[in-house]
Amino acid sequence: MELLPTIWFIAIAVLWTGYLFLEGFDLGVGMLMKLFARNNTERRVLLNTIGPVWDGNEVWLLTAGGATFAAFPLWYASLFSALYLPLLVVLVALIFRAVAFEYRGKVDTESWRARWDWAIALGSFLAAFGVGAALALTTTGLPLNANGDREGGPFAWFSGYAVLGGLAVVCFSLLHALAFLALKTDGDVRHRARSWFIRLLPVLLLPLAGWAVSVQVLSGKAWTVAAVAVAVVAAAVAWFLARKGAEGRAFTALGAFLVLGSASIFGAVFPVVLPSTLSPEFNLTISNASSSDYTLGLMSIVAAVGLPLVIAYQAWTYWVFRRRVSAAHIPEAHSFLPAVAAKAFTKG
């Protein structure tokens, strides 16, 4: 087996797992703006928990996509062209979500905030569903021909696996967000989030578990099946720790469930990076889809220098903003004049 393509396959799997872990809870918090928060104060508490970190979390998505493009250009070309429409929806959803974070508090009216709250919630849902569908199809297959081109119309990608993957990421994000809110907030929001987490864990983890088991049935190996079994144990540990009130350890155990589940999925399909549902002969693998050894070697040097710096900076950010947030920390909402209007008013 080729060394550098294998290393970069593992690296891309790690980047996608990191994205799901970090962006998962803030996409979930976005969806909970409408599902969980009871009033504007609670919505502002939720926003303040992810406010300092959400845009940094999205860097992992860009890095995963960029690494795929550079290390496995045929994988990138086949996947992104086949999923052009759903990935376009993901992009628009992320744009509306980002704009909503900035614009929500600019006008102190219920109708203004409600519109942007829906933009955050729906943008988070569509982004999570689209990414989940894309990753599920990466591991279960698309109708690709010998040239790596999609056969069929613009919706040839749509399948039960796409829906399962989309639901898996949406449901995991919601559960991960509840664990995060129990860890990052105080007062009623904290206790209610922990209660919801305990009640909903068995249900919200089912789609992700179903995705992992489906991949094992298709192409599982002994160690990947074992990883699924250990992931189930990690989920049970998370539930038990949440009942004990150990929010930090419950959050970590849920993260272990994700890491083990992700490892089982990517490990099961290896060395295939994108299966073809038309014929196994058309599968894209680490051998026929990768860049040259020179390119991969240069990328390895850059990653060895840059990635630790990014991780260190992001870890520092989380450390700085580690304190819990509660309703007592939220000031009263108020209107203000834009800078241009304020200047004109002063001169008048």
Binning the chain into helix, strand and coil, the percentages to the nearest 5 are 80, 5, 20
Residue 56 phi/psi, 5-degree rounding, is -65, -35
- Strand segments (E) across 39-188: none
Contacts (Cβ under 8 Å, ≥6 apart) of 242: 179, 182, 194, 197, 198, 201, 250
Q: What is the DSSP letter of 274?
A: E
CB atoms within 10 A of CB 259: 18
Residue 205 phi/psi, 5-degree rounding, is -90, -10
Distances (CA, A) of 28 to 81, 149, 265: 28, 34, 22
- Tens of pLDDT, residue by residue, the chain (348 residues): 589 999 999 999 999 999 999 999 999 999 999 999 889 989 999 999 998 888 888 889 989 999 999 999 999 999 999 999 999 999 999 999 999 998 988 888 889 999 999 999 999 999 999 999 999 999 999 999 998 888 888 888 999 999 999 999 999 999 999 999 999 999 899 999 999 999 999 999 999 999 999 999 999 899 999 999 999 999 999 999 999 999 999 999 999 999 999 999 999 999 999 999 999 999 999 999 999 999 999 999 999 998 898 889 889 988 998 889 877 666 666 555 555 554 544 555
Kindly state the tokens that stand for 86: 């759903």
Contact yes or no for 207/261 (Cβ under 8 A) = no
Instruction: Kindly report whether the peptide bond that precedes residue 5 is cis, defined as omega within 30 degrees of 0.
Output: no
Paired residues of 325 in beta bridges = 185
The closest alpha carbon to 79, from 281, 271, 289, belongs to: 289
Helix (H) or strand (E) holding 252: helix 247-269
- Which class for 146: exposed (0-12), middle (13-18), buried (19 or more C-beta within 10 A)? exposed
The closest alpha carbon to 131, from 22, 35, 278, belongs to: 22
pLDDT at 337: 55
* Radius of gyration (C-alpha) of the chain in whole angstroms: 21
Contact yes or no for 9/109 (Cβ under 8 A) = no
Kindly state the tokens that stand for 213: 């088991």
End-to-end Cα separation, the chain, in angstroms: 75
- Which class for 271: exposed (0-12), middle (13-18), buried (19 or more C-beta within 10 A)? middle
d(CA 131, CA 42): 28
Q: At what angle do helices 110-140 and 84-103 cross, to 10 degrees?
A: 150
d(CA 195, CA 189): 10
Contact yes or no for 283/275 (Cβ under 8 A) = yes
pLDDT at 310: 85
